[in-house]
Amino acid sequence: MANLPLKIRRVIDEGYEFNLGDYISKGFNLIGRDLGGFIGFSLVFLLIYFAAMFIPLVGPLAFAVISPALMIGFAHVAHKHATGRPTTFNDFFRGFVKFGELFLTALLTGLLVIAFVMPGYIMMIAGVISVTGEGFITDSDMVDPADVFGAMASVFSNGLVIAGLFLAVIPATYISVVFSWSAYFVWFYDMRAWDAMQASRKVIHKQFWWMLLFVLLAGIIGFMGLLLFGIGVIFTYPAMLCAQYAAFADATRLEEEAGDSADILDHFAPAE
C-alpha cells in the first residue's frame, strides 16, 4: 500500500458502508442540478461515437482512445456540483488534461480482460468444432430451421462450450467490476494507472458483492433508457455515471473537507 494515499489506506483498513439506494438517488439528483449540461454532453458523446463508427477500423480505434478522457467528464462535473463549485460546459472535456494516464488505465484493464477470458474463448471454440465438425457453417443443405435449432442446442449443451462460457464470463465480470473505479483514482487522487487499478481493486473488494449488484442494477436502469426509441438513454446513462461517482465519493470520502485534503489532486483550478 506504499503508493496509496493515507485516506485510501484507511478506507481499505477500516472498510465502509455501501448504500446502493442512496447512490442511485444521488445520481439522478446530480444530473438534475445541470440537466441541460449532462444531456447536452451525452448527445455530444453519442455523436462522436456514431461518427467514429462510420469510419472503418480507424474510427472505432480512435473512439476507444479518447473515450476514457470523455467519460471522466461526467464524474468531474458531478464532483463540482456535489461540492458546490460553479461549472461550465467546457468542464465536461477536462479529462483531456490527464488523457495519457486515463487511456493507459483503460488499455491495461482491457488487456487484462483479454488475457483472462482467452482460455474460455479457446475452450468454447474447441467445443463448437467438436460438435459441428468441418463445413457446418457453409453447409448449403442445412436450410431446415429444425436442423439449425438442433445444431445450436447441441453446441450450447456441449460441456466444453459451457465450461468455456463460465471461464470467459466470470473473469471478465470480475475484472470489469473491481477496476471500475480506476479512472476515478487517476483523476481525483492523481495516481498512476497501475496504482489506481490496485487502489480500485482493494477498495471495491471490501464491498464486492454490493458493488456487483450496483453495476448490474445501474446497467438495467441504463438499458431502460433505450426504450422510447432510445431517447431515454441520454438521461439514464449520465444518471448512472453520476451514481457511480456518488458511490466512489462516499467510499473514499472524497467530499470530506477536513483530513487528508492534500491527497486529492487540485487540478480543478484551471477549469474555474
What is the per-residue pLDDT for 271? Answer: 37
What is the per-residue pLDDT for 179? Answer: 97
What is the per-residue pLDDT for 256? Answer: 78
For 163-196, b where at least 16 C-beta lie within 10 A, e where not — what string? ebbebbeebbeebebbbbbbbbbbbbbbbebebb
What is the per-residue pLDDT for 123? Answer: 84
- Copy the grid coordinates of residue 270: 484551471
Could you tell me if 203 and 253 are in contact, meaning their C-beta atoms sit under 8 angstroms apart? no
pTM of the model: 0.84
Does an H or E element contain 247, and which? Answer: helix 233-252
Q: How far is CA 219 from CA 48, 78, 236, 240, in A?
A: 22, 19, 10, 8
What is the per-residue pLDDT for 270? Answer: 38
pLDDT, tens only, 120-164: 888 888 878 877 764 444 555 545 566 566 667 666 677 787 888
What is the per-residue pLDDT for 143? Answer: 52
What is the per-residue pLDDT for 145? Answer: 65
Residues lower than pLDDT 70 in the chain = 1-2, 133-151, 153-156, 228-229, 257-272
What is the per-residue pLDDT for 150? Answer: 65
pLDDT, tens only, 8-28: 999 999 999 999 999 999 999
Three-class SS of 159-222: HHHHHHHHHHHHHHHHHHHHCCCHHHHHHHHCCCHHHHHHHHHHHHHCCHHHHHHHHHHHHHHH
